[in-house]
Structure formats: C-alpha cells, structure tokens
Amino acid sequence: MLESGPSFLNRIDSLDSSAPLHSPRYLIPLDLRNVPQYRFDAVVVGSGAGGSTAALEAARAGSSVALLSKAALESSNTLLAKGGMAAVLGEGDSIAAHVQDTLRVGCDLADPKVVEDVVSCGPAAVQALLSMGAELDRDESGALELSKEGGHSQPRIVHAGVDATGKAIQSSLVRSVRATERISSFEHVFAIDLLSTPEGRVAGVLCSTERRELVVFQAPQIILATGGAGQIYRETTNPVIATADGVAMAVRAGAVVRDMEFIQFHPTCLYIAGAARVLISEVVRGAGGVLRDRNGLRFMPESHPAAELAPRDVVSRAVFDSMLATDDTSAYLDLSGLDRDPHQAFSGLSSICEFFGIDIATDPIPVRPGCHYQVGGLKVDREGHTSVPGLWAVGEVASSGLHGANRMGSNSLLEALVLGAATGAAVGQTVQADVSRSLPSFTVREQGPKTPPVRVNVDDLVYSLKSLMWRELGVRRTGTGMNEALDKMRFWSRAVRAMPLEDPRAWEFSNMLEVAQLITLSALAREESRGVHHRSDFEGARPEWLAHTELTPQGNEAMIESVGIERRSLASALSSS
C-alpha cells in the first residue's frame, strides 16, 4: 500500500457535490425469478487483448470461464490498433531505457514499479504472440522489424502489415480462445450491470442477449476488460462499442476511479466529410511524414525538439492550434518526402484516400485530433483487483499505474497482454483456493421510473453530449467551459433518471453521461496542465499537484459526494510498498 496524505485536500466548493451523477444502483428493474442464470468460475467482460489474455490464463489455471463480447469476439479496440506493440528486442535498446521513456512521457504520475514490471515482460509477451501464430513483420534478415514512435528513444515497436498489428494480435487471441475447452464465448451480449450481494461483493453480470433476452452470468470472480470511452467524443478513433460501459457499471457497484481527466487524443485522424475517422498511425510520421498547415508551413519543429515524433499530447495541441491559427478544419500530413513509395508502404491508407480522390504520394492528407485512449479508469493493483471484492479490471478500463498522465504510443497492447495474463492467473489461483461454492443472493432494483409524458430523443442527447465533450473537454480546457458542461450534463441526468431505460442505446447513453461527468469533475479538480490534460486557465504543471485524482462512490445510490486530490510525493511513492 502506498503511503498517502489526506484524501480530500482540494474540495471544489463551487460544485453541488451532493448531486447524484447517474441513475440508482441498477439501470433497470429486475425480477431474478424470471431470468436464467448460468454459473462459471470466472466471467470476463470484453474480448480484446486484455480480456482474451485474462480468459486464457484463468482457463489454464483450471477455471471455467465465460467470455462476454458486446459485438463479435474479433471486434474490439485491439482490432483497430494500427502502430504496434512496444517491447525491448533490438540491439542498443534496454529495459531501463524503455522504463525511463515511459516515466518521462507519463509526466511523473506513472508508478515506477508497475512500469518496470510491465516493460520487463515485453519480450516474453512477443514470444507468446508468436507461439499463438501471430505473423509479425520481419526484415530481410528474418528478424522482427522494429519501428520508432513518438516518445520512444529507440526503435522498439513490433508490428504486422505495417499498420495492422491489432488485427494480427486479435485474430491470434481469438483462435486460441475458440480452441480452449474451458472458455465459453458469448457474442453480441450487452453487459448492463454488475450484480452485488448484500455484503457488497460483485458476483454476477446482468446481460441482454442479441434477441433482447435478459440473462445473468454468475461467478465469484468478474473481470472487466471493456475498453475505453471514445464514443463520448464527437471525433474519435474508437469503435462504436466504446461507450464507457465498464467504468459506469463498476462505479454503480462502488468502485473507485482514478485520473479520469486524462483522455489521450491521437493527433492524426483522417478528416474527410463522409469518411470514418480513420487513425493514421505514428508509423507514418516515423517513416518521414510531416505536418503542415493550410499554407504549407511545417509547424511541429517549433513545438517540440522531436517535431512530428513528439508525445501525442504535444502533437495534438500543435495540430489544434494550427487549425485555429489558420481558421481551417484540419491540418495536413505530407508524405511527399518519404524515401519509399507510400502507396506500397501504407496500402490501407492509400486505398481509403484514393476513394476520396487523394493521392497520398503527392496530395496533402487532411487530419485532425480525435479521442483515442482513456488513460485513467478503475483503480487497480498489480494483479487487477479493484476496490470492490470479486471485481477485477484490465486494459483501457483500468488505471494500472503504467501510463501516468499520458500513455506512450504502443504501450497499451503491451499492458493488455502482460497485465491481462497477470490478472487471469491471479483469478485462476483465487478460484482454486475458494472452497465455498454456494450460490450468491443478489440485491436488485425491483421497480423503475414510469414512462415520461414526453418522448426523449436519445440519439439527439448522444450527439449533444459528444459535441459538448469535444468542445469543452477536448484538447484544451477551461474551468468556465467545464463548469458549463457539467451543468448541462446534470440537466440531462435528471431526464435520464426519470425515464425507463429499455434498450441498448439508452443504456449506452446513461453510461456515457455518467462517465462524462466523472471526467469533468476530475478535470475541474486538477488545476494545472499535465500530460494530456491541458487547461488554458492553468498553464504548466505545478509541483504541488504531483498527485492522483480519485472519485469514490458513496451510499446506496452510488453518489459522488466529494472530489479530492490524493496527494502523494514521488519520494514516498518510491519508498513505499
């Protein structure tokens, strides 16, 4: 346990902190007598790299595992990962260098012990992928090809198909999951709520199947691997399923969240009307792509010594500022100076741009930042325990201590594989040591609100929330704008609490609105600019804010009663265990 000072030294007096942030403990009323229940040793919610790896390790330890996927098993944030996975494999590189790079990019909030543990396991994680049949890119000598990305001092990014690494990793994991007898996969299942016993232990997941039938998956150990919250923002690289469900469910169950203000924006998303916001990997800039404004001026060398390979928060702000300065809707990525044919090097990007009449070898590619990664999340320890008994978390939904205030590129897949394995193994050991096999009894919500006298347009609310978050909680933030955003969110929350939530879109909006408020409260609490959190009214990092923000649900209605900063000096963090 890390030593810390008082938990609530910085209260936000201007906020009505007693106002509930979301609906009651459960989203929908439930009569368990009419709902089928299935029993497993462990339930994993989410089939990306973290969830699939955790499921595989728990099964290897002898546990029966239910793996729940909101869409198909193959569909996840992992599938869309472009650049690759960081691991120390090349000559001239070292574990110490990778650790130092990660700590530097994390702006002094990453946990040095967690960073060292995860980075040290990188080479083994790559070997595990190869043993599962992942086909990673190799050079002419047959060695794994290593690329360099922003924040990294050495080439250490393994990749597949140059910018299709996520697909290769996800495909390998899914093949292994399907071949593992102890894992039962349930696809197109929406996890609505975590079910708690009267003692507050999480021991089940209430779900809706593809046929809109309710079902409960029981288990003494529940692992959340639901990914992030990218769909809260209008501009995002995330898939449509990334609607913050995991954090929202866990907070309703009483889990502590940490550092929710840190939302990473990817600086180069393809920005063409009618096209999905396709992420253009840092590998493209690593190969020589440069950023220019509408007048052809290259602006990154003035923003950072590493220019286009600066950390993502720096590049995102520079792109955003360039857009404002030139009154344009985007900046432009120029690949004309590459020493190889960009059509061959980046065939996927070439095909998309060609459809819209852009020749990437000669034409500027319009780009702008997009919400990319939820750096904060559910507070967990090294093995993935949350603050709620029976509940674990891994991957983007969790705050493990690896990223600090800013995730370094390609460290997320590393985290998912390494900590996913650690969490799965720990769950497997816990299941085997648990001699009690009694069936749990759950507290439930027996009645819901009546149908309101007016029709609520949920799709309109979703769009309004996404636009609000992009405008006030985006690359640059101010206290005034965030307070105004919070007022609107609380207005919408009253409507949500008064209406029955009867379908997946309404459940998603409730989750998105809940987590949007957590992000806003945390961002208001941090009165400085650090990492990916940049406040125009508090420029620069402040030593007295070398701390984590934590929000703790209180009471049966899971209300957030106060906002505080857990102050912890770096010296005490390093000396404590």
Query: What is the spatial distance between Cα 361 and Cα 94, in angstroms, rounded to a whole number?
Result: 35
Query: What is the spatial distance between Cα 243 and Cα 504, in angstroms, rounded to a whole number?
Result: 11
C-beta of residue 135 within 8 angstroms of C-beta of residue 168: yes
C-beta of residue 3 within 8 angstroms of C-beta of residue 568: yes
For residue 312, indicate whether it is catalytic: yes
Considering only the C-alpha atoms of the chain, give the largest distance between any 2 of them, rounded to a whole number of Å: 70
C-beta of residue 166 within 8 angstroms of C-beta of residue 78: yes
Catalytic residue selected from 312, 317, 368, 530 = 312
For residue 104, give Cα distances in angstroms to 112, 141, 307, 482, 545: 11, 33, 17, 28, 16
Q: Is the dihedral of CA 446, 449, 455, 460 positive or negative?
A: negative
**If you write DSSP's letter for every residue of 142-162 in order, what string do you get?**
SSBPEE--TT-SS--EE-STT
Nearest to 518 by CA among 486, 495, 493: 486
C-beta of residue 377 within 8 angstroms of C-beta of residue 396: yes
- The three-state secondary structure class of 348 is helix
Tokens representing residue 470 in the block = 């992009």
Sequence-separated (6 or more) residues with CB below 8 Å from residue 454:
none
Query: What is the spatial distance between Cα 313 and Cα 404, in angstroms, rounded to a whole number?
Result: 13
**If you write DSSP's letter for every residue of 53-65 in order, what string do you get?**
HHHHHHHHTT--E
Catalytic positions, please? 312
